């Protein structure tokens, strides 16, 4: 097993554990939809999201649970295959893929056991709230931005040749 693949799996596993521990804490310590102010512009607010990002398809009747679960498992498998093929010089790409895998599987676990994803991080400004999210969502967002940056850099290298 190559070094990048092994470390990527460890990072993905760490994201899953951190995500699940914080969701368990939020579900047991917070009351549903009752904001707990932490800092100006930041609350902890327990929410349940049966849909995808920003509650997309949240009211679709239940089929979306299995669709998003299958999507998360399929994409995670594809990303793991990509991760396995990375060379030693591709650590940042390995990190990006690991964050995406860990985040996708963290939310997939919720879908399997709960039928919805537990969200609790609530940022707001001037009375406008960003949709509540969790550690898995954060890992997916950071992983996607990192992947985008790395792909842009690679594209610029190819164009310069």
Q: Is the dihedral of CA 98, 147, 110, 34 positive or negative?
A: positive
Q: For residue 32, what are its two tokens?
A: 């549903």
Q: Counting beta carbons within 10 angstroms of the beta carbon of residue 68, is it exposed (0 to 12), middle (13 to 18) or buried (19 or more)? A: buried
Residue 42 CB neighbour total at 10 angstroms: 14
Catalytically active residues, by annotation: 119, 137
């Amino acid at each position: 097993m190559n070094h990048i693949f092994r470390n990527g799996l460890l990072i993905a596993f760490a994201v899953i554990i951190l995500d699940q521990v914080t969701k368990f804490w939020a579900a047991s310590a917070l009351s549903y939809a009752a904001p707990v102010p932490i800092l100006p512009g930041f609350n902890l607010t327990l929410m349940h999201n049966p849909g995808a990002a920003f509650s997309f398809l949240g009211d679709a009747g239940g089929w979306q649970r299995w669709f998003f679960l299958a999507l998360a498992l399929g994409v995670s498998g594809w990303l793991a295959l990509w991760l396995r093929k990375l060379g030693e010089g591709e650590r940042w790409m390995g990190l990006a893929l690991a964050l995406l895998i860990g985040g996708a599987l963290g939310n997939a676990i919720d879908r399997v056991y709960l039928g919805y994803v537990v969200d609790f991080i609530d940022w707001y400004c001037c009375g406008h709230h960003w949709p509540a999210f969790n550690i898995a969502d954060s890992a997916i967002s950071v992983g996607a931005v990192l992947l985008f940056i790395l792909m842009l850099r690679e594209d610029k290298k190819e164009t310069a040749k």
